[in-house]
Amino acid sequence: MAGNDTIFGKIIRREIPADIVYENDEVLAFRDIAPQAPVHVLFIPKHDPIATLDDLQPGDAALVGKLVLAAADYARREGFAENGYRVVMNCRDDAGQTVFHIHLHLLAGAPLGHFGALGR
């Protein structure tokens, strides 16, 4: 969705600060400002600020896969893949979505329980 600018767009353009922990050609990841677990990192597409999961089209399949793969890569690099982690993507009001630029939450660093830690 072109023209969909949010606070995450400002982070991508380095207009506001963020604790960036991972980046590749298509994905940027930074620490959540209000962490819900010892590790709480957001993975976002750099070039496609799609507002919600409900706006995804079949052609976006690779993009979503790249968010997931980036999170898995980061978990391995940081050494917590073996212990485990959770990924969450919130869509609209009932899931509590607050930033309308799709993003994947990566939560780790402690037993996360069911639900809580963004499982709401």
Q: Which of 48, 73, 78, 97 binds ligand AMP (CB under 6 A)?
A: 97
62, two tokens: 């690779």
- Distance between CA atoms of residues 9 and 16, nearest Å: 9
Nearer to ligand AMP, 7 or 72 (CB): 7
Strand-pairing partners, residue 107, are 40, 86
Given the residues 40, 101, 103, 105, select the one marked as catalytic.
Answer: 103
Phi (first) and psi of residue 49, to 5 degrees: -80, 65
Query: What phi and psi, each to the nearest 5 degrees, are found at residue 117?
Result: 40, 55
Number of CB atoms found within 10 A of residue 84's CB:
10
Q: Does 64 bind ligand AMP (CB under 6 A)?
A: no
CB of 87 to ligand AMP, least distance (A): 12
Least spacing, CB of residue 111 vs ligand AMP, in Å: 20
Query: Annotated catalytic sites, by residue?
Result: 103
Residues found near ligand AMP in the complex (CB under 6 A): 7, 18, 30, 32-34, 42, 90, 96-99
